[in-house]
Amino acid sequence: MKDRNMNKILPHLKSPKELHEMQVPQLTQLAEEIRETLCGLLSIRPAHFASNLGVVELTLALHSVYDFSYDRLIWDTGHQIYPQKLITGRYDKFHTIRTRGGLMGYPNPAESEYDLFVTGHAGCSVSTMVGLASGDELMGQGDRQSVAVIGDGAFPSGIVFEALNNAAEMKTNMLVVLNDNEMSICPRVGGLGSYLDRLRSNPVYTGLKTEVVNILNKVPVFGDPAERFLAQIKEGVKAGLHGGMLFEEFGFRYFGPIDGHNINVLRKYLKMVKQLDGNVLLHVITNKGHGFKPAAEDPVYFHTPPTFERQGDKAIPNQKGGSKAYTNHARDAIFDQMKHNDKVTVITAAMCQGNKLEPVREAFPDRFFDVGICESHAVAFAAGQCKTGMRPIVDIYSTFLQRSYDQIFQEVCLQNLPVVFMMDRAGLTAPDGPTHHGTFDVGYMRIFPNMVVMAPGDANDVGAMLDFALQHDTPSCMRYPKTNAAEISRELKPVELGKSEILSWGTDGNILCYGTPLIECLKAQEILAEEGIDVGVINARFAKPLDSTTILKALDESNFVITVEEGMLMGGFGSAVCELANEHGVDASHVKRLGIPDVFVEFGERGELLDELRLQAVGIVETCREQFEGVNTKVTRQKI
């Protein structure tokens, strides 16, 4: 990774406490060095980019006013943690971020005392901040300051307002920094976003903005009469134009909006609110991608862009070929269904870009619904649509759908409504790590009565499964990973409820594969055949209902059976196979399950993670070989 401007400050910064002694010119230089380092990182690997560029000045201002080795700081969602990592003693390791054994791309308490939680889901920062403030008070450390930084895209999450409601009852000193950049990953949606737009675009505010900045830039210290007078003016403007402010109804004194890229103004406001009693919300205006023109102009693309080389104000992508991703196949299948059936809708939760749904949004704006980062609402909303006779598709990442667990239970499955769940990013999401791996959905979906649980074995299964799901009369779900999709050459058969696809039948053993490890199972089959071991491969397609006829036949006729899935072993497809055997009184001692054990899988390249879990061809071959040798050893002993 290249330091293009020969960083002078950043490499020597060992602690953010050193920022307390720096003047604004030094902090401004440091901000530029951080941006250059971020651009250098993107020349070697994809990483969260625009969001980090947008909080550089805010990070420096916060750490130059507070001592977060004692005070508390929570970054909501956490993908904008890179500047904090760079100033908290991790600069030398920064080039390892999102690689196996390197720095995590999210906050990580194992790396630094400045990272309090591993955060990867939006909306929880205010709740954890309230808990920290409460606990510190009870522990006799009420002088600790608690700060949560949350984006405007995450702010509408229901849990945020639950936390604000709770905080209104508490006698604490907490600061919520509302980082308003008019974005989540995609442009924000909903009423709260419109409300914030009115705050930032009010003609009185915009008219005062230049004067406000000029005055604050000249104010030397908090307490100067000019600043007190300015504060009174701003309070009068708020009261006259907005009446009872939404945030103040929750007991938070509101300040802002202020320029989130002006370090001097940020520091003055932070010093001011730090000395106030009670809870404060500081409204900060930032721009995603700030400081790098391509990212500022297209923050959606540059949220986590492919690698590129920086040439001045241009980003030259490092081109890579590859087959079509499962996400694209899923998008195309949704598009085709919506084109032919005007009862089909699609609902997503602030992930239009992640789910590649932009063409769907453009072609069918009346039947496309982005509800923001509100997954629980998305599922209940879908249930309501379904009740009217519409056929909603809920397209949400596996890991984020967990947030709507109760609504899947109560509003969908209990009512037996045929909502279709398409779970993107199921399985391992590689460098994003444990907060984003979609490894739990098989277990949490298949336990619900009425729910049909499916996974495509290859690209050809995706459209066929969605077609089946939209004709089926109960809830259903389909999972697929963040990777390019294989297409297996064979005679395509329609998807039927609870029916697997027998690709081949082995005389020595059989592999029952659930989902996209299917191509690796077929590779393993070829290798084993060269060794004289005849292993069949079955595309299970369903984890619920199981193809009991085929599976029981495999258990009866095979010397060994291997189940393969890219999900948790506990409660997963392999568990379902063993449960089926138990129900029918069939011996399952010759069943070996491959999947993810009872651990949180760390981050790394997808291939190396799958290798460690024995979910690539080599590991499947080794497992089959071990089972084959075990069977032969047992037979030999019996003969002796």
Q: Structural domain of residue 517, as residue ranges? A: 501-639
Question: Quick one: 421 and 511 in the same domain?
Answer: no
- Residue 534, token pair as written in the block: 């005849």
pLDDT of amino acid 232? 42
Give residue 247's pLDDT band: very low, low, confident or very high (50, 70, 90).
Answer: confident
The DSSP code for 304 is: S
Q: Is residue 378 part of a domain?
A: yes
Mean pLDDT in residue range 521-547: 97
Question: Quick one: 285 and 361 in the same domain?
Answer: no
Is the preceding omega at residue 517 within 30 degrees of 0, hence cis? no
- Based on its alpha-carbon atoms, the radius of gyration of the chain, rounded to whole angstroms, reads 27
The DSSP code for 7 is: -
User: Catalytic residue among 35, 72, 85, 288, which?
Assistant: 288
- Residue 514, token pair as written in the block: 């659930």
Query: Which of 253, 279, 297 is the last residue before a domain boundary?
Result: 297
pLDDT of amino acid 221? 41
Query: Taking 50 as the threshold, does the pLDDT of residue 237 lie above it?
Result: no
Question: Quick one: 80 and 216 in the same domain?
Answer: yes
Give the H/E segment covering residue 269.
Answer: helix 263-274
pLDDT tens column, 113-135: 999 999 988 999 999 999 999 99
Establish how many alpha carbons lie within 13 A of residue 527's alpha carbon, considering only the half-sphere containing its beta carbon.
Answer: 16
Question: Quick one: 78 and 212 in the same domain?
Answer: yes
426 phi/psi in degrees, rounded to 5:
-75, 140
Tally of helices (H runs) and strands (E runs) in the chain? 23, 19
Query: Taking 60 as the threshold, does the pLDDT of residue 211 lie above it?
Result: no
Mean pLDDT in residue range 169-198: 73
Mean pLDDT in residue range 69-83: 95
Question: Quick one: 246 and 395 in the same domain?
Answer: no
* Residue 356 annotated to the active site: no
Q: Is residue 306 part of a domain?
A: no
User: Catalytic residue among 375, 501, 565, 566, which?
Assistant: 375
- Residue 127, token pair as written in the block: 């709740």
Q: Give 74's strand partners.
A: 148
Question: Quick one: 107 and 252 in the same domain?
Answer: yes
Q: Is residue 4 part of a domain?
A: no
Lowest mean pLDDT among 94-103, 179-188, 447-456, 536-545: 179-188
* Residue 100 annotated to the active site: no
Query: Taking 60 as the threshold, does the pLDDT of residue 585 lie above it?
Result: yes
User: Catalytic residue among 234, 268, 403, 482, which?
Assistant: 403
Q: Give 150's strand partners.
A: 178
Give the residue ranges of DSSP H helices in 434-560: 441-446, 459-471, 518-530, 548-557
* Residue 293 annotated to the active site: no
Q: Is residue 248 part of a domain?
A: yes
**C-alpha–C-alpha distance, residues 581 and 472, integer Å:** 27
Lowest mean pLDDT among 21-30, 194-203, 449-458, 607-616: 194-203
Please state the pTM of the whole predicted model: 0.86
More confident residue, 622 or 322: 622
Percent of the chain with pLDDT over 70: 87
Supply the CATH number for residue 192's domain.
3.40.50.970
More confident residue, 206 or 634: 634
Question: Quick one: 290 and 337 in the same domain?
Answer: no
Supply the CATH number for residue 522's domain.
3.40.50.920
pLDDT of amino acid 171? 78
Query: Taking 50 as the threshold, does the pLDDT of residue 9 lie above it?
Result: yes
pLDDT of amino acid 240? 37
Q: Is residue 519 part of a domain?
A: yes
Question: Quick one: 237 and 140 in the same domain?
Answer: yes
More confident residue, 239 or 34: 34
Query: Which of 297, 313, 338 is the last residue before a domain boundary?
Result: 297
Query: Taking 70 as the threshold, does the pLDDT of residue 194 lie above it?
Result: no
pLDDT tens column, 493-524: 889 999 999 999 999 999 999 999 999 999 99
Q: Is residue 21 part of a domain?
A: yes
More confident residue, 383 or 247: 383
- Residue 39, token pair as written in the block: 């651009």
Mean pLDDT in residue range 264-270: 95
Give the H/E segment covering residue 537.
Answer: strand 535-539
**C-alpha–C-alpha distance, residues 129 and 73, integer Å:** 8
**C-alpha–C-alpha distance, residues 156 and 88, integer Å:** 30
Q: Is residue 275 part of a domain?
A: yes
pLDDT of amino acid 202? 55
Give the H/E segment covering residue 256.
Answer: strand 252-259
pLDDT of amino acid 185? 54
Give residue 189's pLDDT band: very low, low, confident or very high (50, 70, 90).
Answer: low
- Residue 299, token pair as written in the block: 């923050």
Question: Quick one: 101 and 158 in the same domain?
Answer: yes
Neighbours of 494 (CB within 10 A): 8
Q: Is residue 484 part of a domain?
A: no
DSSP 201-223: H-HHHHHHHHHHHHHHHH--STT
Q: What domain count does the chain have? A: 3
Q: Which residue has the tokens 């590859």?
A: 322
pLDDT tens column, 138-168: 999 989 999 999 998 898 888 999 999 999 8
Lowest mean pLDDT among 316-330, 463-477, 572-586, 604-618: 316-330
Query: Which of 479, 510, 528 is the last residue before a domain boundary?
Result: 479
Tell me how many degrees the CA angle 484-187-206 measures, rounded to the nearest 5: 155
Give residue 448's pLDDT band: very low, low, confident or very high (50, 70, 90).
Answer: very high
Q: How many residues does the chain have?
A: 640
Contact yes or no for 506/480 (Cβ under 8 A): no
Mean residue pLDDT across the chain = 88
Question: Quick one: 425 and 462 in the same domain?
Answer: yes
Question: Quick one: 192 and 275 in the same domain?
Answer: yes
Give the H/E segment covering residue 138.
Answer: helix 125-138
**C-alpha–C-alpha distance, residues 632 and 638, integer Å:** 10
Question: Quick one: 237 and 122 in the same domain?
Answer: yes
